[in-house]
Amino acid sequence: MNPPNGRLSIHMANDPTSFVIRPLPGAGLDGAFRFHLSPDSLDRLGLQSGVDVCQITGEKGGTGYGIAWRATDKMGTSPKLRPVKLTSTAQAAFGFQEGSHVAISKSAASIMPAASLTLTDITPPDWRTPDDTDDLAWLKRADSYLTDCEAIAAGTTFDLSAKKKLRRRFYVDHVQGNSASGTSGLFYCDGMTKVVIGDESTRFDTPSLALGDSFPVLDIGAIGGLVDEIKLLNKRMDRVLNRSSHVVSKSRHAHDARHTLLHGYEGTGKSMLIEAVERTPGASIHTIREDDLSTPTKAITFIEQTFDDALRAQPSIITIDKLDKLMPKENSTLTSVLVRQFKKIRGARVFVLAAARSTLSIDNVLLRAARTAILRTMLVDESEGLAELISSKTHGFTGGDLDMLVSRAHEFAEDRVDFHLSGILPIGLRDELRNGNATNGNGHMASSIYSEDTTQVDTSLLEMQPPALTEEDFDLARATVHPSALREVFFEKPKVKWSNIGGSDAIKQQFDDTLGLPLQHPEQFARYDLRPSKGVLLYGPPGCSKTMTAQAVATTYNLNFIAIKGAELISMYVGESEKAIRELFGKARQAAPCVIFFDEIDAIGAERDAGGTKGLNVLTTLLNEMDGFEETKNVLVLAATNKPEVLDPALLRPGRFDSHIYIGLPNIEARKEILKIGLRVAEGVDIEKLAADTEGYSGAEIVRICNMAKMSGFKHDVATESSRIAIGGQDFEEAFRAVRKGTTAEMLEGYEAFATR
């Protein structure tokens, strides 16, 4: 006989697999087989919440299985009381009691599909009423209820209710699994499960059409740049529409997605993918479009009829393009109608494919009703069809963007050829050549187009073929075509280079190490198990080129660039600031590699006890987004501030703004470079003396001095009608009197304190 506390309790303090059963509120089968564990216990056991199946073993050898689940409440930290919470349903199914000592481990077993399930009606006599005679209706209710359950086991009971306060209680007498499945003792029901009550051989089922061994798949190469998306879509369609897939499918937890929502920016291929699915043989196709929902009454009728038709013609596919426009959050009526339809097709061989530009305007109730469809964002085209060099310069471009880019490049190529021909051919003959008419009787190009200078002509230009595209054509076109993902935010293609920033060599080297090397050598970087910085904080006195530095970073490494001022976010209406930040990060992921630049980050990043609650919500959203894109590659967050000491410490933790670069006042060499850039049109200026005189000035202040001195010289030239650009000492004296130093000794001490904190 085991001691009172059992053998397992003796080693509980040292054994991470040992637990004590504690009660978990809940009745029936809804979430009944979730084993609630603390986050620490899940990590120790290597369990993923909501995904992995775990085995529970009692002191006397009894075993049971359940879904590992993260506890939502505090469960205590004492090793002697390490709890696992089970519902009364799970305890009864596996013979455990509250206070039992058990061992838990990760299991390779799976939750099996149920081929058939037999129920016994054990309704208490006092629940029965004379009106309760429709057993078929209860069978339908039981079928629907069981299909919604993520796990079922023999020996469990559940209650159902109906209108007029009718109630029934059923006992799961027997579950027949498939021979190809595991041995967990847990099952799930789907559209293929035969549910019977007692000796009945009938079940509520929807009419269906037979389908072959495999569901026809989309051609992976049908739409360029969407290989991964098409693979995922093929897998999902086969899982829902193909009968044979049910015998090997894994556990259908509550979060498992049956349907799919495509979302992405204009031109990413959503509609093309839907059209490709609609051409797929092997399933009946049913569409819902904007024209079908012209009036509220017609819309409701059409939606209900479409789903009914799909149920009668299984396997079937329902496509809904522009879902966000058809059923925005504001239209609760249509949303409710569609929610009911999704419940109607649960377990059926009906696959719903919808597309939306954004998920923000779609009610979450609808997404949950669709079995929490994975919101698979359509990735931007990596443009493998273009030359590698062109592809590297089109980050963030969608398929539509690339099509426009190529069209523009052809226009520039035509202009290039026209310009070249204009120097060697008469305009009339050139037009005939363009129209394909400049030929002789034999169909060959008329010899008259050749002149004595023919040897200097590129003969390919004289052929009536589209001109070959060059890198220069694409560079010119790229200046006029921007990525769709960035068209609705403040987007610019920076033109600032390091050579435009005097004295920037040291800063450039820091960015080469932080960003350049990981981008240029990703494989070697990965071999060392390194992770690139998510965020870089630029701090220093005003006017020291922090913004230009961010732009130079984007230019140097050919990154897309999104810029926004912190103060602009704070000035928005309540809730709009948080939404704007989420959209910024979403668009940056679409257009990666990309830089998000927050100027004046102190406006939203001040310590949370130092200001109002409006900035607090914005800061919290920013922190969540920075934590959330850990797996997103090539998105860098740059931020600039003149007041680093006021920033919330949470922003400066590793994994957020973990790189801090001080951009201070320019030294004498940097001042010389700034002066040379600012005064390159002037002659006879003593750069050495000016560099000494501008000590303590910021870069912007030095540029201001140069501009004022040049303006003074310009006015003098206009007055004297001089043609020589000359800037004298008097011009600089006036400039120095007008421009004062803006950086104080106290400010410099503050930056030094921040750097050494």
- Is the pLDDT at 501 greater than 90? The verdict is no
pTM: 0.45
Give the torsion through C-alpha atoms of 140, 144, 146, 148, to 10 deg: 180
- Mention every residue, 6+ apart, whose C-beta is less than 8 A from residue 733: none
* pLDDT (0 to 100) of residue 14: 56
Q: Identify the DSSP state of 162.
A: E
268 or 392, which is more confident?
268
d(CA 603, CA 599): 9
Specify the domain boundaries for CATH 2.40.40.20 within the chain: 6-106
Residue with the bigger pLDDT between 385 and 410: it is 410
Lowest mean pLDDT among 158-167, 183-192, 687-696: 183-192
- Is pLDDT at 204 greater than 60 in this prediction? no
Which residue ranges does the chain devote to CATH 1.10.8.60? Answer: 668-746
Show Cβ contacts of residue 200 under 8 Å, excluding neighbours closer than 6 positions.
135, 139
Task: Write the CATH number of the domain with boundaries 227-377.
Answer: 3.40.50.300
Q: What does the DSSP assignment read for 331-397?
A: -HHHHHHHHHHHHHTTTSSEEEEEEES-STTS-HHHHHHTT--EEEEPPPP--TTS-HHHHTT-TT-
In CATH, what number does 112-197 get?
3.10.330.10
Residue matched to tokens 């035509």: 414
- CATH code given to domain 6-106: 2.40.40.20
Residue 537: pLDDT over 90: yes
pLDDT at 640 over 90: yes
- The number of residues in the chain equals 757
Least confident of 8-17, 60-69, 439-448, 540-549: 439-448
pLDDT at 391 > cutoff 90: no
Which residues belong to CATH 3.40.50.300 in the chain?
227-377, 498-662
For residue 229, count CB atoms less than 10 angstroms from its CB and return exposed for 0-12, middle for 13-18, buried for 19 or more: buried
Using the predicted structure, report yes or no on whether residue 353 has a pLDDT greater than 70: yes
539 pLDDT tier (thresholds 50, 70, 90): very high
Report pLDDT for 253.
40
Bridge partners for 594 per DSSP: 560, 635
Would you place residue 382 in the very low, low, confident or very high pLDDT band (cuts 50, 70, 90)?
very low
Residues of the chain with CATH 3.10.330.10: 112-197
> Across 309-318, 432-441, 630-639, 646-655, which has the greatest mean pLDDT?
646-655
pLDDT in the model for residue 81: 67
Task: Give the rounded percent of residues in the chain with a pLDDT score beyond 70.
Answer: 69
Q: How confident is the model at residue 400 (pLDDT cuts 50, 70, 90)?
A: low
Contacts of 580 (CB under 8 A, 6+ apart): 564, 569, 572
Across the range 228-243, mean pLDDT stands at: 73
Question: Shortest CA distance to 338 belongs to which of 261, 246, 244?
Answer: 261
Run of H or E residues at 471: helix 471-478
Cα 187 to Cα 109: distance, rounded to the nearest angstrom: 11
**Winning range, highest mean pLDDT, from 36-45, 258-267, 289-298:** 36-45
**CATH fold for the domain made of 498-662:** Rossmann fold (3.40.50)
Res. 96: pLDDT tops 60? yes
DSSP assigned state of 215: -
pLDDT reading at 245 higher than 50: no
Maximum pairwise Cα distance, the chain? 115
pLDDT, tens digit, for every residue of 671-714? 998 888 888 767 778 888 899 999 999 999 999 999 998 888 88
Q: How confident is the model at residue 200 (pLDDT cuts 50, 70, 90)?
A: very low
What CATH topology corresponds to 668-746? Helicase, Ruva Protein; domain 3 (1.10.8)
CA distances from 730 to 697, 716, 719, 733 (A): 19, 11, 16, 5
Q: How confident is the model at residue 610 (pLDDT cuts 50, 70, 90)?
A: very low
* Residue 135 to residues 146, 166, 174, 715, Cα–Cα distance (Å): 16, 12, 19, 100
pLDDT (mean) for 114-140: 82
